[in-house]
């Protein structure tokens, strides 16, 4: 696969990952908080059973193209053998693991209600929903942020403008700080959605730049060759010309 095609596929992976994870946060709408009465939660899960299973799939599968985008950027930047590249690989594995755990508890909450297991549904819902608990969401924040090592990779290459590298490092550092603060403050935890939106916008911007860089350059007109001076060679008059002039 050519470098241009690789850039386009990496960019499309990032866009797909952002789209799927954004849909996960929006489906289903009007989710009750974990401090709602158990009857309210059970009724909501029962009425939105299919949508909850859909959002579980989006949460479980959506991070894969997101992570493939990050690893693709590392590959294109020549960072696969660098320390920051390996840390990005580690962060990718952590994200995929936590996403599958989140999806598992989401499925458990949906299936437990239909099976009449109220206690299982309540515990599962409590682990994935806020604002009081959402333990899985808080673990996401304290886990190794993906953009932090990815930004370090970009700063060591010329794949994207350096502003992308600095911004990625800043977002990653903000994730570390917010993850610690969210353990002790509900207000800090509520700011996580702002950080998620900023990270998604970064991925979209980086993907668009990669697609622009991946477009074939227009064929330039061939360079005009400088006209060479014509050498005037003096010709020796022929015998016939001599006879005529005589």
Distinct helix (H) and strand (E) counts, the chain: 12, 0
Q: What is the pLDDT of residues 203-225, one digit of tens each?
A: 999 999 999 976 554 333 444 55
For the chain, give the mean pLDDT: 86
Three-class DSSP labels, 71-91 = HHHHHHCCCCCCHHHHHHHHH
Ranges of beta strands (E only) in 12-68 are none
Residue 169 in this model has a pLDDT that exceeds 60: yes
pTM strictly above 0.95: no
DSSP class of residue 225 equals: P
Greater confidence, 81 or 36?
81
Token pair for 53 = 């299973």
Residue 233 in this model has a pLDDT that exceeds 80: no
What's the pLDDT at 243? Answer: 36
């Amino acid at each position: 696969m050519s470098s241009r095609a690789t850039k386009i596929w990496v960019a499309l992976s990032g866009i797909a990952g952002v789209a799927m994870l954004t849909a996960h946060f929006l489906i289903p709408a009007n989710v009750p908080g974990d401090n709602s009465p158990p009857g309210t939660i059970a009724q909501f899960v029962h009425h939105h059973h299919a949508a909850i299973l859909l959002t579980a799939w989006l949460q479980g599968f959506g991070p894969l193209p997101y992570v493939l985008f990050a690893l693709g950027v590392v590959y294109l930047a020549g960072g696969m053998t660098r320390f920051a590249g390996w840390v990005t690989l580690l962060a990718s594995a952590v994200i995929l693991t936590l996403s599958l755990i989140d999806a598992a508890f989401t499925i458990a909450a949906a299936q437990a209600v239909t099976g009449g297991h109220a206690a299982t549904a309540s515990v599962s819902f409590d682990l994935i929903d806020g604002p009081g608990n959402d333990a899985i969401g808080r673990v996401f924040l304290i886990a190794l942020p993906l953009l932090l090592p990815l930004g370090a990779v970009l700063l060591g290459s010329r794949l994207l403008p350096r502003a992308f590298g600095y911004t990625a490092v800043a977002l990653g550092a903000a994730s570390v700080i917010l993850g610690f603060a969210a353990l002790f403050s509900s207000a800090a935890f509520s700011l996580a959605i702002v950080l998620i939106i900023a990270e998604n916008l970064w991925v979209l911007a980086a993907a668009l730049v990669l697609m622009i860089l991946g477009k074939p350059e227009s064929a330039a007109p061939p360079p005009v060759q400088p006209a060479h001076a014509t050498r005037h060679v003096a010709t020796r008059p022929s015998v016939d010309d001599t006879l005529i002039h005589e």
